[in-house]
A and B are shown apart, each in its own frame.
Chain A
Amino acid sequence: MKGMTIIVKTISSWVKVLIFLFGIYIILFGHLTPGGGFAGGVILASCYVLLMLAFGREYVEKNLPLPVASKLDCLGAFLFALIAVLGLVFGGTFFLNFLYQKYLPGEALELVSAGTIPLSNIAIGLKVGASLFLVILVLSMFRPDMSGKKEE
């Protein structure tokens, strides 16, 4: 697991920034353009998958250790639930878009608009990115258990 050839390594180290930035763009503009938290999160995770393929698993694990990714994962889900509960606290209804209704109406088609929807997108992006990264990392760690057993 020392990664691929120098060509792949060089190119992926150039491309990784663009992919990551694109993922962030998709998340932040989720309420204006196609895409959103889920799609952007998948792109963020795929950036790490590219690094994992090019440089090997150890390199990625040094960059984003498993416990940190696990905490980010929980943080994303927690933020999303928190936004829902804040709707109950500030607006009186669970999941109410209280920012849009009360504090921050914003113009349609601007970046700062639509109240809590962009915030929810960020939370979902965090959650999806971290958990998809974890799924692929964990899948790449395990080997099938061949010890002492013939193929069944």
Chain B
Amino acid sequence: MSIPLPVFIAIPLVTAFVLPIFGKKGKDAATVLANLATISLLVLAVASIGQSGVYEIGKWSIPLGINLVLDGLSSLLLLAISVVASAAMLFSARYMEQYTAKAKYLSLFLLMVAGMNGVVLSGDIFNLFVFLEIASLASYALVGFGCEHEELEASFKYMVLGSIGSIFILFAVALVYGNTGSLNMAYIGKAIRDSGLNAGLSFAMALFVVGFGLKAALMPFHAWLPDAHPSAPAPISAMLSGILIKTLGIYALARVVFNVFGVSVSIGWLLVVLGLLSMVAGAFLAIGQGDFKRLLAYSSISQIGYVVLGIGLGGLILARAGNNISTEQLGWASLAILGGLFHLVNHAVYKSLLFLTSGSVQMSTGTRQLKQMGGLAEKLPFTRATCTLASASIVGIPPFSGFWSKLILVVAAVQAGFYWIAAIIVFVSLCTLIMYLKVQRYVFLGELPENLQQIKENRGSMLVAMVFLACLCALMGLLVLVPCLKQSILEPAVKVLTDGLEYSAIVMKM
């Protein structure tokens, strides 16, 4: 293996601790350095595609030491994290000029990236928890970065609910350790495959679903998200909605459910129901919002539902078939999981783009209320173009990325015989269309209010970040349409999940 895996954690971590030394005078140098760090992570993530391996930290062999595991699912998530982080960092270069203490912001941002990379790479369930806490703590501070009354309140609420989620996860880790005698995910998986689930482990599983569900803001656990995500500065909203809830929530949940505990029919149904609930309720709540970023936040809950639905549906099909699974059923399950994971990547790109455009609008107009805007199409042409593209993508207009992932989900649901799920997916897509038409109508079309006659668009690095993500939005469909891209990026990730408990054997052989 050519890349030593800890560099994914070491680069942002070391940079994060160097940055505060620059202080107020070296703000520009700090910005350049932070951007270099995220871009080098992007390069490394691209280079890591197609590789796999285990890295033993300090040459302590597993299960004694800590190990990092790179497989298809990890490299998919690494890629998504570094794409969103580079764009958000580039956007921050100009956007964060409005705030004081920029070096501290950059430092916290990089800590969050280090935590997320750690979650994705960790092969050890306790280190997964530690990295999850690093990323969460950095995000609590970043949500309250503006230090206004409303932002601090949102940050506090987020911190309380996030900590409750973390406590659930920590309890579950302790139960797992008590029942299997190991913290290494491969060894836990092996113990569970050999002796099955007992009552303690089943309870741990329930705790994991609640804990990771809180981090992912699935429907009954979503209360913190609509406050926290809009209150953060725009690039941080993009990071939180774009990638943080997926890494800490969905990735960790999928890894634990599929590779460590093994899917069962009841867990499969649970994920499907949670997914559907988030999709429908998130969409209904989003339509009624009058605040631009709040609408986007509710829409995130709805879109997260799609991802969980896809993964849960795949798990359900796998668990129903049991050990003697036919190739046809495996195909359906793979298709459903492919749809879920592809939607995860797509949503990371277009939702972060939408939050960046909302930041650009907010910086120019000074408001987030949809009704106080209007007619901005001529004043903010680039913001308008990128926002429309991202909206088209999230709604699912054919050439753009969102269409393909929803299509795959619908096809998988129909093939497996769940016609009603396919109908709900299409229906929620329609609700999504309504909410984004509302955004277009109130923000960019209509009459330009008197007080907004003089505004200007912010160009420079903000524009580069938005155009970069918009290009990705338009081109992401190629990930499933071009066979070699699909085979190198998405299919290894799907295979990790469909392999299920084979994970432990695969890791021990690497």
Contacts and interface: CB of A to CB of B under 8 A. Distances in A.
Interface stretch (A9-17, A34-42, A44-52, A84-92): A84-92
A137 interface: no
A87 B21 CA distance: 24
Contacts of B55: 94
A74 interface: yes
Range, interface on chain A: 20 to 34
B104 to A, nearest CB: 9
B14 A94 contact: no
A20 interface: no
Which secondary structure dominates where chain A touches chain B? helix
Interface in A51-108: 67, 70-71, 74-75, 77-78, 81-82, 84-85, 87-88, 91, 93-97
A74 B21 CA distance: 8
A127 to B, nearest CB: 9
Contacts of A85: 10, 14
B115 to A, nearest CB: 14
Interface string A117-130: 00000000000000
Contacts of B57: 93-95
A116 to B, nearest CB: 10
A78 B18 contact: yes
A96 B58 contact: yes
Contact of A87 (B20, B23, B58, B149): B58
B427 interface: no
A94 B17 contact: no
A71 B10 contact: no
B4 interface: yes
A93 B20 contact: no
A81 B14 contact: yes
Contacts of A82: 14
B56 interface: yes
B6 interface: yes
A120 to B, nearest CB: 11
Interface string B4-32: 10100010011001101101000000000
A84 B10 contact: yes
A85 B14 CA distance: 9
Contact of B21 (A71, A84, A88, A96): A71
B13 A97 contact: no
Contact of B20 (A74, A81, A97, A145): A74
Given A81-B14, A84-B10, A71 B20 contact: yes
Interface of B: 4, 6, 10, 13-14, 17-18, 20-21, 23, 55-59, 149
Given A93-B58, A95-B57, 15 more contacts: A71-B21, A74-B17, A75-B17, A78-B14, A82-B14, A84-B10, A85-B10, A87-B58, A88-B6, A93-B57, A93-B59, A94-B57, A95-B6, A96-B58, A145-B149
Q: Which 10 A-B pairs have the closest CB atoms?
A: A94-B6, A95-B58, A78-B17, A77-B17, A81-B14, A74-B17, A95-B57, A74-B20, A93-B59, A96-B58
